[in-house]
Structure 1
Amino acid sequence: MRVAVYSTKPYDRQFLTEANPAPGHRLSFLEPRLTPDTVPLAADADAVCAFVNDDLGGGVLERLAALGIRHVALRCAGFNQVDLRAAERLGISVSRVPAYSPHAVAEHCAALVLALDRRTHRAYNRVREGNFALTGLLGFDLHGKTVGIVGTGRIGTCFARIMTGFGCRVVASDPHPSEECRALGVEYLPLGPLLAQSDIVSLHLPLTPQTHHFLGAAELDGMRDGVMLINTSRGMLIDTVAVIEALKRGKIGYLGLDVYEEEADLFFEDLSDQVLRDDVFSRLLTFPNVLVTGHQGFFTREAMTSIAATTLGNLTAAERGEGLNLVTAAHVAR
C-alpha cells in the first residue's frame, strides 16, 4: 500500500521504517501537517497516516476521497481530530492505535508530580547558575497524600499502581470501575467528593463532546486549596482561562501539563527563535508553579515501537479489506 505519512519527524521515520520490512508498504514521509493546503501531497497514495494535530475535518476528508484515499491510519489513540461521520459518508475507514505503552504516559505523569512537588526543574536551573540555596524549594511527602484519578483505563490504572507504591491513598472516578484498581485498594467516588478530597488530581480521559472543558471554574472551585492538577490526556479537558484564574488566587498550587488546548500551533515544533503569539499559553509560562512539557508523555522507545507496529498492522489489514482497530461515527456518541 502506498501511504502518505504526514507530520513526520525523524523519530517517526526511524520507527516506522524499522517496523516496515515485513509489511512492505511504500511509505512517503512528509514533514508538513495534513491541512487543506497539503492534501495534494497525497495524490499518489492509497492511504494517509496522520498524527494528533493533523486536520481530518470534513473538508480535508472530501479532498482526500477525491484523490482516491480510502483509509486513514492514525498513529495515536485519540481520534477527536477526525470527522468520523464525514469519513463514513465518504467511504474512508479510520484506524487508530488504541494502546501502546500505558506505562509511558503514566510514568511521565508521575514525573510531573515529582518535579512539581520537589521543584526539580527550578533546582536544576539554580544549580547551573551556582545558586545552591534551598529557599523556595520546599516540597511535601507523597506518602499519605490523597491522589484523585479521573478515568481508570489502562493509563489511569497504571498511574494508580505507581501512586499506591508511594504510599498514597488513591481515589478514582469512572463510570466503569477497574477491578484491578479495586484490588489495589482504590476507592471509587463521584467526581465532586473526589475533587474535594484530593491533594493531587490527575486526568486520564478521552476528549469527547461530553468531556470538553471537563474541569471548568465550578469544578476548580470544588477542589482543595493548593491542589496539584495534572493533565497528560487532552488539552481541551480543562478550561485554561479558568485554570489561570485559579492559579492567580492560589486555588491551584501546582499545575503539570503535557497537553494544551491550542497545542496544534505550538507542540512538536522548534519555535525557540520566534515570539509566541498565544497569550494564554504565554501567561501560563509566567507562573513558577507551572510545568509544561510538549506532549511527550507517549515518547518512549517501547511506545514508539508499539505505535509503529500497530499502525503498519492496521494498514495491512486495510489493504486486505479487513477491519482492525477501526473507529467509526458510533464512537462519537459513547
Structure 2
Amino acid sequence: MKIAFFSTQPYDRTFFERENAQNEFSYQFYETHLGPHIVQAVEDVDVVCVFVNDKVNRHVIQVLAEKGVKVIALRCAGFNNVDLAAAKEYGLRVCRVPAYSPEAVAEHTVAMLLTLNRKTHKAYNRVREQNFSLNGLLGFNLFGRTVGVIGTGKIGKAFCRIMHGFGCQLLAYDLYEDSELKREGLRYCTLEELYAQADIISLHCPLTADTAHLINAASLAQMKDGLILLNTSRGGLIDTLSVIEALKSRKLGGLAIDVYEQEEKIFFKDLSNTVIEDDTLQRLMSFPNVLITAHQAFFTDEALSQIAKKTLDNVKKACSGRVAADDPAFL
C-alpha cells in the first residue's frame, strides 16, 4: 500500500518508518499541508495521511477520488477539517486515532496550568540572570479550587483524575456522563452553573458546529472574575477577540492555550526570523498572564508511537474491508 503523508515533520518520518519495519507500506512525505494548492500532485497512492491543519474539503476529496485514493487517514483524534459528507459521497473511507495517549494531552494541560499559576517560566529566566527576587511571582494553591471541565472523553477524564489528586473540586459538562468519574466525586452540571462556580475551566471537547466559539463574550460574562482558562483541544472553541477583551478588563486572570484558531499558517514552523503578520496572536502574546505552546500537548514518545501504530492498523483495516460497524476510529 502506498501512503502520501502531508504536514510532515521529521518526527513523523521517524515514528512511521519505525512502525514499517516489515516494509508493508510505501511512503511519500510532503512538508506542505494538504489543500487545493497541492492535491493535483497526488499520484499513484492508495491513502493520504493528514494532520490537524490539512484542508480536506469537497474539492480536495473529489480530486483524490479521481486519482484513485481510497482512504483518508487522520493521524489525530479531531476530524473537523474533513468534509465527511463529501468523503461518503465519493466513496473514501475516513479513519482517525481517537485515543492515542489521553494522558499526554492531560498532563500537558496541567503543566501549562502550573506554569501559568506559579510563573515558573518567569522564575527560570530571572534566576538565569541572577535575579532571585520573588516579586511578581505570586500564585495560588490549587487545593480546594473548583475546576470546570468541558468534555469528559478520554482526555478530559485523564485531566479530571489528575486534578482530583490535587484536591480540587470537580464540575463537568458533557452530553454523555461518565459513571466512573461520578463515583470518584465529579459532579455534572449545566454550562451556566459551571461558568458561575469554576475558578479554572479546561476545554476538552471536539470542535463542531455546536461548540464553535463556545467561549465568547456571553459565556465569559457568566464566569468568575480572575478565572483561569485552559484550551488544549481545538482553537476554534474560543472566540479570540472576546478573550482578549476579557484579559484587558481583568475578567480573565490567565489564559493557557496549546491551540489557536488561525494556527495553520504559524504552528509547526520556525518563524524566528520572520515578521508574524497575525495581529491577534501578537496581541495575545503581549499579555504577561497568557501562556502559549504550539500544539505540542500530544508530543510524547508514547503518543507518537501509538499514533503511528494505530494509523497504520486503520489503513490495513480500511484497505482489506475489515472494519467493524462500531469501530470509533472510522467515521
Question: TM-score band (shorter)?
Answer: over 0.9
5+ residue gaps, structure 2:
none
Question: CA shift at 1:187, angstroms?
Answer: 1.2
Contact 1:23/1:313 (<8 A) preserved: no
In 2, Cα distance between equivalents of 1:23 and 1:215:
46
Q: Structure 2: which amino acid aligns with 1:147?
A: V
Q: Look up the match of 2:26.
A: 26
After TM superposition, list the pairs within 5 Å mapping 1:1-20 onto structure 2: 1-20=1-20
Q: Which residue of 1 aligns with 2:254?
A: 254
**Equivalent residue number for residue 84 of structure 2:** 84
In structure 2, distance between residues paired with 1:135 and 1:108: 27
For residues 44 and 115 of structure 2, the distance between their equivalents in structure 1, rounded to whole angstroms, comes to 47
Paired residues in the alignment total 328
- Aligned partners of 2:97 and 2:329 also within 8 Å: no
Which range moved further: 19-28 or 285-294?
A: 19-28
The aligned counterpart of 2:112 is 112
What letter matches 1:310 in structure 2? K
**Does 2:130 match 1:159?**
no
> Which residue does the alignment assign to 1:243?
243
Deviation at 1:23, TM superposition (A): 6.6
| CA-CA distance at 1:40 after TM superposition | 3.0
Q: Shift in Å at residue 326 of structure 1?
A: 4.8
Query: Does the CA contact (< 8 Å) of 2:267 and 2:294 recur in 1?
Result: yes
Native 8 Å contact 1:74 1:96 kept in 2:
yes
In the alignment, residue 278 of structure 2 is paired with which amino acid? D
Alpha-carbon separation, structure 2, partners of 1:280 and 1:247:
13
CA shift, 1:36, in A, is: 1.3
Tell me by how many angstroms 1:224 deviates. Answer: 0.5
Which amino acid is 1:252 matched to?
A: L
Q: Which residue type is aligned with residue 108 of structure 1?
A: H
Query: Is residue 331 of structure 2 the alignment partner of residue 303 of structure 1?
Result: no
Residue identity over aligned pairs, in percent, reads: 52
**Alpha-carbon displacement from aligned partner over 1:209-249 (angstroms, at most 9, x marks no partner):** 11000111010011100000000000000110000000000
Q: Please state whether the residue corresponding to 1:43 is helix, strand or coil.
A: coil
Partner of 1:182 in structure 2?
Answer: 182
Do the aligned residues in 1 keep the contact of 2:171 with 2:187 (CA within 8 Å)?
A: yes
Moved more, 311-320 or 37-46: 37-46
Q: What code does the residue aligned with 1:212 have?
A: A
Match of 1:134 in 2: 134
Mapping for residues 1-334 of structure 1, pairs under 5 Å: 1-22=1-22, 24-323=24-323, 325-328=328-331
Is the Cα–Cα contact under 8 Å of residues 4 and 41 in structure 1 kept in the other structure?
no
Q: Secondary structure at the match of 1:149?
A: strand
The offset of 1:183, in angstroms, is: 1.8
- Displacement of 1:322 in angstroms is 2.7
Which residue number corresponds to residue 332 of structure 1? none
User: SS in structure 2 opposite 1:59?
Assistant: helix
> Does the 8 Å CA contact 1:94/1:327 hold for their aligned counterparts?
yes
Q: Which amino acid aligns with 1:260?
A: Y
Shift of 1:41: 3.1
**Cα distance in structure 2, aligned partners of 1:124 and 1:109:** 20
Measure, in 2, the Cα distance between the counterparts of 1:226 and 1:124. 24
Contact 2:6 2:33 in 1 (8 A): yes
Letter of the aligned partner of 2:262 in structure 1? E
Task: Please identify, of 23-32 and 151-160, the stretch whose mean Cα deviation from structure 2 is larger.
Answer: 23-32
Q: Distance in 2 between matches of 1:5 and 1:307?
A: 13
After alignment, is 302-311 or 29-38 more displaced?
A: 29-38
Query: What is the TM-score normalised by the length of structure 1?
Result: 0.96
**Ranges in structure 1 where 5+ consecutive residues have no aligned partner:** 329-334
CA distance in structure 2 between the aligned counterparts of 1:326 and 1:133, rounded to whole angstroms:
51
User: Could you give the per-residue CA deviations for residues 294-314 of structure 1, whole angstroms, max 9, x where no partner exists?
Assistant: 000111111101000000001
Question: CA deviation digits over 1:134-176, x for unaligned, max 9?
Answer: 1110011111111111111111111111001011111111121
AA partner of residue 181 (structure 1): L
> The residue matched to 1:228 in structure 2 has which SS?
strand
**C-alpha distance in 2 between matches for 1:35 and 1:46:** 17
How much does 1:67 deviate? Answer: 1.0
Could you tell me the TM-score, scaled by structure 2's length? 0.97
Q: Equivalents in 2 of 1:318, 1:154: separation in Å?
A: 24
In 2, the alpha carbon distance for the partners of 1:326 and 1:25 equals 20
Distance of aligned partners of 1:325 and 1:191 in 2 relative to their CA distance in 1, 3 Å threshold = closer
Deviation digits for residues 271-314 of structure 1, max 9, x if unmatched?
11101111111100000000000000111111101000000001
CA distance in 2, matches of 1:203, 1:131: 35
